[in-house]
Amino acid sequence: MSRAAILRQPWLWAWVGALAVWLATAAFTGGTGSGQVISAALTFGAFFVIVALGQMFVITLGPGNVDLSIPACMTLAGTVSMKIMDGAGAMIPVGLAVAVAVGLAVGVINYTLIRALRIPPIIATLSSSFIFQSAAIWYNRGLRVKPPEALGDFTTAKIAGMPFIAILVIGLAVAMHILLARTIYGRSVLAIGQNMRAAGLAGIRVERIRAITYIMCATLAGLCGYLLAAFSGGAALNMGEEYLLSSIAVVVIGGTSVAGGFANVPGLWGAALFLFLLVTMLNTFGAGAGVRLVLTGLIIIGVIVAASGGRHKREG
Amino acid sequence: MTDGPIVLVDGVEKRFGAVRALSGVTLDLQAGECLGLVGHNGAGKSTLMNVLSGIMVPDAGRIVIGGADLTERYSAVSAMAQGVRCVFQELSLCPNLTVAENARISHPAISGIGWRRRARALIGGMLDQVFPGHGISTDDVVGDLSIAKRQMVEIARAFAVTDREARVVILDEPTSSLDGVSAEKLLAHVRRYVAAGGTCVLISHLLGEILNISDRIAVMRDGGVVALDSARAFDRKSLVAAMGSVAEGLQGPAAKATPKRADAPAVLTARPETKSETLALSAHKGEVVGLAGLSGQGQTELLVRVFRHAAGTEVRGDVALVAGDRQTDGIFPLWSIAENISIGSLRQFLNGILLDHGRAQAFAQDWRARIGIRTPDVNQPILSLSGGNQQKALFARALGSTAGIIVMDDPMRGVDVGTKQEVYAMIRDEAEKGRTFLWYTTEMDELRNCDHVYVFREGAIVADLPHAEMSEEKVLHASFRDDGVRVSA
């Protein structure tokens, strides 16, 4: 790739941002703990990336498409699977299957609301998320059930200093990249996001693709809920909270077009690391909560402006 | 008015990357004349008009309006201030606003309390003047109007006068989305406007209307003006020769006289969804079936129902569609030419479950050559192409697919004469190989390529004409109701 071609890559700015905040943190601490920071960023970034992968496909379907039920779906899948496993190591695969099944069901319900009742996706997924969240509360009465020990160990395991879960999610991201770039499904999502009517008239089965996309997004959220509950010692009712906005922020900072029709996977990892490292940096600097939030907002805006500036030049 | 030209463009040049769209164009417009502008797709007509209306800044050359050199500070705003109006081929109305609100946008003089009423009066009056009996309410939302009605609104808006006069009106392919009657009304208005001292530039691929309406005709080829003379100095043949068209004999290879109906099996039957009495349409394998009539009489709806295998149609085999309204129905604007062509045939490039981009690329290259898309590189963005070349890409998408039935929704809008002949030949060729075509067209010449023609009126099929019985008179006769209300003067 020539220099100009690299500068035009949509994922570039997220990675530049991640590197910059990491260097700034390292400079402040004189390099101590930089290794641990990276390790933590990879672990927490992995959870962000799992849900962002699904959200990216949904957002790429075009204006108005977004899944706001991700946090509720994570909570429900985490709660139900933890309770069913009830700390028994032998139940780990069953728990995984249950979490995935919860995600599938959530996706089917979301898409049914969107398609059969013709509710706009934002409203449909927001209102369904109240139901899923309430279901989680009702099911577990707010108790925290511990995950099986082996599963907890698995989510915190490292191979040669690298969090195992990060390795898994990098593999998942590679698979999703191939899904986006090299399959009929991926091309169809990109086409629908640019012009839904033209996509239908070009022979793409628009509604089938939309259904798959919403169901896949919820399933990934279910998977993320399972892993996160295992990682953090049990499912909590607010465990998904920060994943609503960050799933969207990671997608957008990563260089995917909010207007749809244009997406990329490498940017998701860059953006997830960036978001985590940014908060770490501000904590290290000793910034108060208010200042931290203001700076987080400003820096995210800065990265998005830099990234979209690059993209406008490409289209112009 | 003074004797000097009202507008003079002098040595104007414009490049898009490797493509040289204008190479030193010099052209003058006089008050009280209609200048016809013809040329192939990509000859530079639309680019020149974009320069004239201030949307594109030329790389070199001068723009002189009313004797003043405005090159340095020429923009869309100053073009409006000078009374230069343009009706674009790609319609530029806001679809979410009403007709009256759209009129207000380009006439900022309408303001303050009661602007809505004055905007309605302005655009409504102009519509009545240009297209009497247009059937458009000024409170209609533009997005709900057919493409023909949107075009009418756009035209009326350009001719409407508030505080600034409309000195020069540029019409870029205005009749391609209009039916014959509306087109005649427009051309009559152009003559009235010119007689009153206005200046009009008319771009069209319909040589008949250029020859009839224009005072002078300019022919463009490869980004330059190659001929400019009084309209009387040209005839159909000499115009085609000046454009450098390969098409000899404008009628083209007409359909064979021997009907295929007798021995070929029927592959589709369809009946329009209407409460009134209607015939059913059927198409047999290898036939080219024409859908005629005025624009917007239910032809597109039927094509889309056939495409979707909707209830009420019986369709055997896959269907591919060539869009006519390419911005809303055809183009994927973020993608390259190659991606736009290959999207209709993705299954052909599967290697297991993965797409082989190399094969898709080769496929697009092959179709670029076969259908003559003017671009050095199929990896260029689709929007780098002129309108007619974008249309060719859509043809390539449909013809390249494996579908046995191809439905075409007035697909030749904005396509030049030479390309049309090439595409007609390609359609005949594909039909010989056993493909079936449903072809909605508003151009009489194109119906001559059809084995069978169905005429639509008010959502129903009212006439069923085999090739041997088809004539312009019969089609027109069927297109209008016998009560004579809508027949033009």
Per-residue pLDDT band for B3 (boundaries 50, 70, 90) equals: low
∠ CA A279-A283-A289, rounded to 5°: 85
Give percent of chain B above pLDDT 90: 34
- In chain A, residues with a C-beta closer than 8 Å to the C-beta of B390 are none
- In chain A, residues with a C-beta closer than 8 Å to the C-beta of B333 are 194-195
A184 to B333: CB separation less than 8 angstroms, yes or no: no
Question: What's residue B77's pLDDT?
Answer: 84
Pairing of strands B452-457, B436-440: unpaired
A283–B contact, CB cutoff 8 A: no
pLDDT digits (tens, 9 = 90+) for B121-148: 999 999 999 999 888 999 999 988 888 8
* B85 touches B168 (CB < 8 A): yes
A204 to B330: CB separation less than 8 angstroms, yes or no: no
B328–A contact, CB cutoff 8 A: yes
Cα gap B456→B459, rounded to integer Å: 6
B264–A contact, CB cutoff 8 A: no
Cα gap B186→B130, rounded to integer Å: 6
Between B196 and B173, where is the model more confident? B196
In the stretch 138-177 of chain A, residues with CB closer than 8 A to chain B read: none
Separation in Å, CA A266 to CA A12, A16, A251, B201: 9, 12, 10, 51
Chain A residue closest to B305 (CA)?
Answer: A201
Note the pTM of the prediction, 2 decimals. 0.76
Average pLDDT over chain B reads 85
Q: How many CB atoms lie within 10 A of CB B55?
A: 15
Q: How many CB atoms lie within 10 A of CB A238?
A: 9
- In chain B, residues with a C-beta closer than 8 Å to the C-beta of A262 are 334
Which among A182, A195, A262 is the nearest to B355, CB-wise?
A: A182
Contacts 24+ apart (CB under 8 A), B68-73: none
Give the single-character DSSP code of A163.
E
Above 0.85 for ipTM, yes or no? Answer: yes
Chain A residue closest to B333 (CA)?
Answer: A194
* B286 touches B434 (CB < 8 A): yes
Write out chain A's pLDDT in tens, 316 residues.
Answer: 567 777 778 888 889 989 999 998 888 888 777 888 899 999 999 999 999 999 999 999 999 999 999 999 999 999 999 999 988 888 999 999 999 999 999 999 999 999 999 899 999 999 999 999 999 988 877 678 889 999 999 998 988 888 999 999 999 999 999 999 999 999 999 999 999 999 999 999 999 999 999 999 999 999 999 999 999 988 888 888 889 888 999 998 898 988 899 999 999 999 999 999 998 888 888 888 888 888 888 877 887 777 665 554 444 3
Give the single-character DSSP code of A146.
P
- Please identify which residue in the block is written with the tokens 């996977």: A265
Separation in Å, CA B470 to CA A297, B369, B451: 69, 34, 9
Question: What's residue B395's pLDDT?
Answer: 92
B304 to A201: CB separation less than 8 angstroms, yes or no: yes
Pairing of strands B266-270, B405-409: unpaired
* B214 touches B231 (CB < 8 A): yes
Between B8 and A305, where is the model more confident? B8
A182 to B347: CB separation less than 8 angstroms, yes or no: no
Chain B residue closest to A259 (CA)?
Answer: B334
- In chain A, residues with a C-beta closer than 8 Å to the C-beta of B381 are 315
pLDDT digits (tens, 9 = 90+) for B147-162: 889 999 999 999 988 8
* A276 touches A48 (CB < 8 A): yes
B332 to A195: CB separation less than 8 angstroms, yes or no: yes
Given a cut of 80, whether residue B362 has pLDDT beyond it is yes
- In chain B, residues with a C-beta closer than 8 Å to the C-beta of A184 are 346-347, 350, 355
Write out the DSSP string of A81-131.
HHHHHTT-GGGHHHHHHHHHHHHHHHHHHHHHHHHTS---HHHHHHHHHHH
A201–B contact, CB cutoff 8 A: yes
How close, in Å, is residue A24 to chain B by CA atoms? 36
Given a cut of 50, whether residue B23 has pLDDT beyond it is yes
B305–A contact, CB cutoff 8 A: no
- In chain B, residues with a C-beta closer than 8 Å to the C-beta of A183 are 353-355
How close, in Å, is residue B482 to chain A by CA atoms? 36
Question: What's residue A75's pLDDT?
Answer: 94
The full 3-state SS of chain B, as one line of letters, equals CCCCCCEEEEEEEEEECCEEEEEEEEEEECCCCEEEEEECCCCCHHHHHHHHCCCCCCCEEEEEECCEECHHHCCHHHHHHCCEEEECCCCCCCCCCEHHHHHHHHCCCCCCCCHHHHHHHHHHHHHHHHCCCCCCCCCCEHHHCCHHHHHHHHHHHHHCCCCCCCCEEEEECCCCCCCHHHHHHHHHHHHHHHHCCCEEEEECCCHHHHHHHCCEEEEEECCEEEEEEEHHHCCHHHHHHHHCCCCCCCCCCCCCCCCCCCCCCEEEEECCCCCCCCCCEEEECCCEEEEECCCCCCHHHHHHHHHCCCCCEEECCCEEEECCCHHHHCCCCCCEHHHHHHHHHHHHHEECCEECHHHHHHHHHHHHHHHCCCCCCCCCEHHHCCHHHHHHHHHHHHHHCCCCEEEEECCCCCCCHHHHHHHHHHHHHHHHCCCEEEEECCCHHHHCCCCEEEEEECCEEEEEEEHHHCCHHHHHHHHCCCCCCCCCC
3-state secondary structure of A159: strand
Question: What's residue A283's pLDDT?
Answer: 87
B56–A contact, CB cutoff 8 A: no
Largest pairwise CA distance in chain A? 59
Segment (H or E) for A158: strand A158-159
Given a cut of 90, whether residue B56 has pLDDT beyond it is no
One-letter identity of residue A155: T
How close, in Å, is residue B87 to chain A by CA atoms? 23
Chain B residue closest to A198 (CA)?
Answer: B329
A-B C-beta contacts closer than 8 Å: 61
Boundaries of every domain in chain A: 3-315
Which among B344, B347, B354 is the nearest to A202, CB-wise?
A: B344
Q: What stretches of chain A show up as alpha helix (H) in DSSP?
A: 3-7, 12-29, 34-60, 70-85, 92-115, 121-140, 149-156, 164-182, 184-194, 196-201, 206-231, 243-253, 266-284, 289-315
Cα gap B460→B274, rounded to integer Å: 6
Question: What's residue B41's pLDDT?
Answer: 67
How close, in Å, is residue B302 to chain A by CA atoms? 13
Per-residue pLDDT band for B267 (boundaries 50, 70, 90) equals: confident
A197–B contact, CB cutoff 8 A: yes
A187–B contact, CB cutoff 8 A: yes
Q: Which of A69-83, B77-91, B177-191 has the highest mean pLDDT?
A: A69-83
Cα gap B410→B396, rounded to integer Å: 15
Q: At what angle do helices A70-85 and A206-231 cross, to 10 degrees?
A: 50
Question: What's residue A302's pLDDT?
Answer: 81
**Interface-testing mutation among B346, B354, B384, B391, with chain A (most A C-beta atoms within 10 A):** B346
How close, in Å, is residue A261 to chain B by CA atoms? 7
Cα gap B418→B94, rounded to integer Å: 33
Check whether domain A3-315 has CATH 1.10.3470, yes or no: yes
B479 Cβ contact list (under 8 Å, min separation 6) = B292, B293, B294, B297, B455, B457
Cα B423–chain centre separation:
15
3-state secondary structure of A162: strand
Pairing of strands B460-466, B452-457: antiparallel
Question: What's residue B423's pLDDT?
Answer: 86
B332 to A197: CB separation less than 8 angstroms, yes or no: no
* A263 touches A71 (CB < 8 A): no
How close, in Å, is residue A87 to chain B by CA atoms? 39
Give the single-character DSSP code of A9.
-
Given a cut of 50, whether residue B52 has pLDDT beyond it is yes
- In chain B, residues with a C-beta closer than 8 Å to the C-beta of A197 are 328-329
How close, in Å, is residue B89 to chain A by CA atoms? 19
- In chain A, residues with a C-beta closer than 8 Å to the C-beta of B332 are 190-191, 194-195, 198-199, 261
Question: What's residue B485's pLDDT?
Answer: 37
Cα gap A55→A53, rounded to integer Å: 6
